């Protein structure tokens, strides 16, 4: 709730809210932590102004119980938001306050349209969702913080429009732009798609990997380096849960959200999961110390586990970065060196005591009394006697 309140205040409030009574009420509503009180404040804002778009947004997200109800409220919010946005456009050059209002009203309008696109996607109207997202990306290209392109990638994958997916990746999978699991794993999926149906580990070990297979494997390694938690969910080695409302890039929460929505796309491509299963663990041989030095990305952040524990429910076992297991020889050598160093230190500090101890140990190991000839003869006689009695 704290993270949501921060996001809402960032997108939906500005310094001039006091000029509109309904926005003043909504500013208090976004800061409220009690859901019933937030809903009550939204209705109060609508009583003051029936065109309060943010009030409809709050009701759609927190009071609506079905996607159909949420879509109906978002359509009302869109109608109100477009009216306010046009007014702000006309007044934007009058003062800095009016410019701030326009930025806020732009954020509200984009947020509403994106939510309507997601409602259409959930209700099966995928082409309509794709059109809304494309229009948003053309009309408001700077607003990449809403990750509309990631929603567009998932919708295009559902349509199996792989050429369009590649076109989106060509624009957003750029070295200067922030990455995500959706971008990295979608790029890997497209390269895997060209070779996965004919891939066989036995055949590849005999003849080696082709150029296309090498590209697919490198794309998988790149994706795993960015977020190493995704493969276990895609391969169903860990159980999926509902994704949280907020996610952390490169963390377990992002992996859950990606796998929850994209697992079906990996299953749809024949052999894709098989190629992933055969190659993903090879990433950790390339970056044996990921917390200190990365390969294609910055070193893996050590704080993700703590943040994911706050974002994910208590019953979920949070995935952590796989630790590289050292061979037995290294453990043995380390133990031997430590023991030698300890003995040398004790010998230097207490030479007389260590000398006595060494003599005692050597005497115990090397000077054990050998059995006498009389004892050997006695044993032989006993053996012969037993042999005669049994005969």
pLDDT digits (tens, 9 = 90+) for 255-268: 999 999 999 999 99
User: d(Cα 359, Cα 370) in Å, to the nearest integer?
Assistant: 19
For residue 187, pLDDT beyond 90: yes
What share of the chain has pLDDT > 90, as a percent? 25
User: Of 47-56, 128-137, 331-340, which has the strongest mean pLDDT?
Assistant: 128-137
More confident residue, 290 or 350: 350
More confident residue, 60 or 32: 60
More confident residue, 40 or 332: 40
For residue 318, pLDDT beyond 60: yes
User: d(Cα 120, Cα 128) in Å, to the nearest integer?
Assistant: 7
User: d(Cα 216, Cα 214) in Å, to the nearest integer?
Assistant: 5
For residue 306, pLDDT beyond 50: yes
């Amino acid at each position: 709730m704290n993270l949501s309140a921060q996001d809402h205040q960032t997108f939906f409030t500005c310094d001039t809210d006091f000029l509109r009574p309904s926005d003043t009420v909504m500013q208090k509503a976004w800061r409220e932590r009690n859901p019933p009180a937030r809903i009550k404040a939204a209705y109060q804002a609508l009583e003051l102004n029936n065109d309060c778009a943010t009030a409809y947004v709050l009701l759609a997200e927190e009071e609506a119980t079905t996607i159909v109800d949420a879509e109906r409220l978002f359509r009302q919010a869109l109608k109100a938001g477009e009216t306010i946005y046009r007014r702000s456009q006309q007044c934007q050059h009058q003062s800095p306050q009016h410019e701030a209002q326009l930025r806020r009203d732009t954020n509200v309008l984009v947020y509403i349209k994106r939510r309507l696109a997601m409602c259409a996607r959930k209700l099966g109207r995928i082409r309509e969702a794709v059109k809304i997202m494309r229009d948003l990306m053309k009309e408001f290209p700077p607003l990449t913080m809403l990750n509309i392109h990631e929603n567009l990638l998932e919708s295009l994958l559902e349509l199996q429009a792989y050429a369009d997916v590649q076109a989106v990746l060509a624009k957003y999978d750029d070295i200067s732009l922030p990455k995500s699991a959706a971008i990295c794993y979608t790029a890997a999926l497209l390269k895997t798609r060209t070779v996965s149906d004919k891939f066989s580990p036995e055949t590849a070990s005999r003849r080696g990997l082709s150029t296309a297979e090498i590209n697919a494997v490198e794309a998988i390694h790149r994706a795993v380096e960015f977020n190493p938690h995704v493969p276990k969910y895609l391969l169903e080695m860990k159980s999926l849960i509902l994704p949280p409302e907020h996610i952390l890039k490169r963390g377990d929460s992002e992996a859950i959200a990606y796998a929850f929505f994209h697992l079906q796309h990996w299953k749809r491509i024949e052999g894709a999961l098989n190629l992933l299963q055969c190659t993903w663990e090879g990433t950790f041989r390339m970056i044996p110390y990921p917390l200190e030095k990365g390969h294609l990305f910055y070193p893996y952040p050590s704080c993700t586990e703590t943040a994911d524990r706050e974002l994910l429910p208590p019953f979920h076992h949070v995935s952590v970065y796989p630790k590289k297991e050292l061979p037995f020889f290294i453990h043995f050598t380390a133990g031997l060196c430590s023991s030698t160093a300890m003995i040398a230190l004790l010998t230097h500090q207490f030479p007389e005591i260590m000398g006595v101890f060494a003599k005692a140990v050597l005497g115990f190991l090397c000077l054990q009394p050998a059995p006498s000839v009389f004892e050997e003869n006695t044993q032989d006689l006993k053996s012969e006697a037993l042999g005669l009695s049994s005969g």
